[in-house]
Amino acid sequence: MLHNIPAELRARKQWVVATGNPGPDGKPCKIPLDPRTGQRADVTDPETWGTWEDAEASPHRFKGYVLSADDPYVIIDLDATDDAGIQARHAEIYEAFQTYAELSQSGGGAHIVCEGAILRNIKSASRKIEVYSKDRYMIFTGDALKTMPIVNCQPMLDKLVRTLDACSVRAESELVQVDSNVPDDEIIRMAKHASNRENFCRVYEAADLDLPEADDSGDDFALMDMLHFYTQDYEQCRRLFMASGRGKRAKGRNQKYLDRMLRKLAAERVPLIDLTELLRRSNASKPTPMPTSELSPDDFPPGLVGEISHYIFNSAFRPVAEIALATGLATMAGICGRTYNVSGTGLNIYPIIVAKTGCGKEGAAKGMGMIFNALRAKVPAIADHRGPAHFASGQALIKALDKRPCFVSVLGEFGLFLKRITDERASGNDTMLRAVLLDLFSKSGAHDALFESVYSDTANNTKIVQSPCVTILGETTPESLFDSLGIAAVTDGTLPRFSIMEYTGDLPRPNKRHGFVPPPEMIDRLAALALLVVTAAPNHNVNVVALDAEGAEAMDAFSEECDDNHRKSNSGAEREIWTRAHLKALKTAALVAVGIDFINPVIGVDAAKWACNLVRRDIAKLQERFQIGDMGSGDTKREAEVRKAFTVWENFSKESKRKYRATEKMLTTPVIPIYFLKQRLRQLPAFRGKYKGDTQILNETLEEMRKAGEIKRYPADQAKAEFDTAQDVYVKGEHFYG
């Protein structure tokens, strides 16, 4: 049954074991042990935890997952009980949390695993409920009650925590006043931008105050708890509470009532945080570029973009974070890209998924299709936002826009498609298609339009399209994309419009729980957005995505960075990729902001920095390929392959070199035989020509590199005398760039 344990948990190095042997009390021993050493484990020390494979290989019976502040998971432990009332409450909780759940080790309780955040671990002995997010471990059985993915359940989690907080009997401590130097408005600003901002705004504004179903005492305590998290100046806590919607009631201004809540919180006081210093460091720090290695689900943003990405990842047969994130962004852009504008442009984007064959690229189209099918049941008109999977010509694309001016299309074999439309021998239809795609990237704003085209064949005439918003999600392999594209495809602005989401890792393990339907809660939120979109479409009402002060500052800093890199670049190709970097980051940040709050979307500093880092990662990948010459099929690519061959030869063993006709005298010198170069290079796509043979192309490449001083060729008589060989031999020249 252990295979039922969610893959996302098994992928983390947070596992311990326990013997399960009967202890002095007759109960199974659950003392956590390091699965690698068998020594006592510490739930606060990651050095004493192991991988799932370590735990699985351990002879000990129980396998336990350690909850950490560094992971997004919360576990709700519903203990076994004979109390019918508590059992009924447990049943309500079990039904409310539509996420993975399994029987506990005793067989009488249940563990519910979800994503979310709580301020502290909670244990309610009277209600037989424990809620943990860190510094605890849970034994997993795999005896699944709900074989569904782990999903974010923050709204239900907030409600459960409020109930437990309000009903638990808490110790109380005396209040010792500590003056704060953080202004009141700064406290509120931070709370309204935190991960639990929705819950904070709800209780702070008291929109549901005194409704029959409202939990007034629980919400009062929840608000005071959140205020106390940001300041332990009790006078400031009282002042902020009384300034809230809840503080306008007589009860909310009762000093004894407020102090009773504060004394309970003081009993669980955590070390004081110096918010002034924290804010100073935060404002002074520069955003750290996203690493160029593989992404993980932890890199997904908050809001609907993140929810869609998590669904695509968790439901895919081969889960890949780059594929999931690209699909999440493209899905959002396809739904709302025309209805929302930022800085005068719509939110259409052109992400390309680049991964080896078999690495799960098909999960993008499948997952997006599942989402649109679920949405169509609630908002039928949204079906028009899923575009065609093939464009025959530029005219066909414009005509499609006439009927549906905002859509997302998933294009398979995108590398071949891009090669077709950028080829110097491209047909008239393909040339027109490329021109239209280039034009459409910046035509989705409220005041933009794609103007009509007139042809001798009137059947090809197109109409003017107001604010056309096309999002393209491409799927391709690295070889198909980069081997077929020359630097010209970059310098003419084609490739820089696209965002490269490349996965270079190994084949992901199959996900046995793949293919499940989208979570209803996510579809409900998307349906609310979709309804707003289709309602606004007839009159083309546009919502403007704003930037707050910090978000604008971060985007301005990135704009300056792009300009600086453009000026510093030595080649036209590298300059071009920085030209649209700021625009891509701005659109991406706006999509995240809409996903967080589509009624009043605002790009905050976190969304801005996240989007800029994503674009930096995209550019870093492209720059790496520029630097090693891994682009296109022309001279640059061929010369880069020769340099790689020299490096490979240098790392060969003597035995390997002998296989390529290297004489004994050659084994201890840096020379490289032509036989090896022919065997390695002639089979590569870069050396295949339509009008020339591969040997001729190789010889021409070697000759050009010889003339440039990159390599030297030994004269035949010298090669015979020094290395006892009749074949051509080469050595690096003084200007070798490998």
**Predicted pLDDT of residue 170:** 45
Count of Cβ atoms closer than 10 Å to residue 318 Cβ = 18
Banded model confidence at residue 176, pLDDT cuts 50, 70, 90:
low
What the block records as the tokens of 653 is 């063993």
**Predicted pLDDT of residue 165:** 62
Please give the Cα distance from 584 to 345 (Å, whole number).
11
**Predicted pLDDT of residue 169:** 42
Q: Are 35 and 324 in contact (CB under 8 A)?
A: no
**How are strands ordered across the β-sheet holding 73-78?**
122-124, 129-132, 73-78, 110-115, 101-103, 144-146
**Predicted pLDDT of residue 183:** 82
Helix (H, G, I), strand (E, B) or coil at 543: strand
pLDDT over 90 at 201, yes or no: no
**How are strands ordered across the β-sheet holding 62-67?**
15-18, 62-67, 136-140
The 8 Å CB, 24+ separation contacts for 488-491 are 488/422, 488/632, 489/418, 489/422, 489/632, 490/573, 490/576, 490/577, 490/622, 490/631, 491/572, 491/573, 491/576
**Predicted pLDDT of residue 385:** 94
**Predicted pLDDT of residue 58:** 92
Please report, rounded to a whole number, the percentage of residues in the chain having pLDDT higher than 70: 85
**Predicted pLDDT of residue 279:** 36
**How are strands ordered across the β-sheet holding 406-411?**
406-411, 469-476, 351-354, 499-502
List, for residues 693-715, the tens digit of each pLDDT value: 778 888 888 988 888 888 899 88
Residues 6+ apart with CB under 8 A from 536: 339, 542, 543
pLDDT over 50 at 292, yes or no: no
Banded model confidence at residue 273, pLDDT cuts 50, 70, 90:
very low
Q: What element of type H or E holds 729? A: strand 729-732
The dihedral sign for the CA sequence 442, 447, 450, 454: negative
Banded model confidence at residue 33, pLDDT cuts 50, 70, 90:
very high
Banded model confidence at residue 601, pLDDT cuts 50, 70, 90:
very high
Banded model confidence at residue 287, pLDDT cuts 50, 70, 90:
very low
pLDDT over 70 at 293, yes or no: no
Please give the Cα distance from 339 to 385 (Å, whole number).
12
Q: Give domain 297-625's CATH number out of 3.40.50, 2.60.120, 1.10.3470, 2.60.40.
A: 3.40.50
- 63-67, 436-440, 497-501: range with highest mean pLDDT: 63-67
**Predicted pLDDT of residue 489:** 65
Count of Cβ atoms closer than 10 Å to residue 275 Cβ = 17
Ranking 30-39, 65-74, 106-115, 222-231 by mean pLDDT, the lowest is: 222-231
pLDDT over 50 at 456, yes or no: no
Per residue in 41-80, is it b (16+ CB within 10 Å) or e — as a string? bebeeeebbbbbebbeebebebbbbbbbeebbbbbbbbbe
**Predicted pLDDT of residue 541:** 84
Please give the Cα distance from 157 to 596 (Å, whole number).
18
248-266 average pLDDT score: 85
**Predicted pLDDT of residue 684:** 77
**Predicted pLDDT of residue 275:** 36
List, for residues 613-643, the tens digit of each pLDDT value: 999 988 887 777 666 556 555 666 778 788 8
List, for residues 386-444, the tens digit of each pLDDT value: 999 888 888 888 888 888 899 999 998 888 888 888 777 788 888 888 888 888 988 89
List, for residues 501-535, the tens digit of each pLDDT value: 999 888 888 887 788 889 988 998 999 999 999 88
**Predicted pLDDT of residue 286:** 34
**Predicted pLDDT of residue 464:** 76
pLDDT over 70 at 492, yes or no: no
Please give the Cα distance from 360 to 357 (Å, whole number).
8
**pTM (whole model) above 0.85:** no
**Predicted pLDDT of residue 167:** 47
Instruction: Please give the backbone phi and psi of residue 65, each rounded to the nearest 5 degrees, phi first.
Output: -100, 130
**Predicted pLDDT of residue 95:** 85
pLDDT over 70 at 270, yes or no: no
Q: What is the 3-state secondary structure (H, E, C) of 187-198?
A: HHHHHHCCCCHH
**Predicted pLDDT of residue 288:** 37
**Predicted pLDDT of residue 683:** 75
Q: Are 46 and 13 in contact (CB under 8 A)?
A: yes
pLDDT over 90 at 494, yes or no: no
Q: Are 449 and 463 in contact (CB under 8 A)?
A: no
Ranking 347-361, 581-595, 721-735 by mean pLDDT, the lowest is: 721-735
268-294 average pLDDT score: 40
479-489 average pLDDT score: 67
Average pLDDT of the chain to the nearest whole number: 83
pLDDT over 70 at 290, yes or no: no
Please give the Cα distance from 497 to 438 (Å, whole number).
8
595-619 average pLDDT score: 93
Helix (H, G, I), strand (E, B) or coil at 546: strand
List, for residues 648-662, the tens digit of each pLDDT value: 898 888 888 998 899
Please give the Cα distance from 693 to 685 (Å, whole number).
12
401 or 23, which is more confident = 401
Please give the Cα distance from 113 to 575 (Å, whole number).
48
**Predicted pLDDT of residue 473:** 96
pLDDT over 60 at 590, yes or no: yes
**Predicted pLDDT of residue 195:** 52
pLDDT over 90 at 9, yes or no: yes
Helix (H, G, I), strand (E, B) or coil at 50: strand
Q: Are 323 and 364 in contact (CB under 8 A)?
A: yes
DSSP conformation class of 144: E
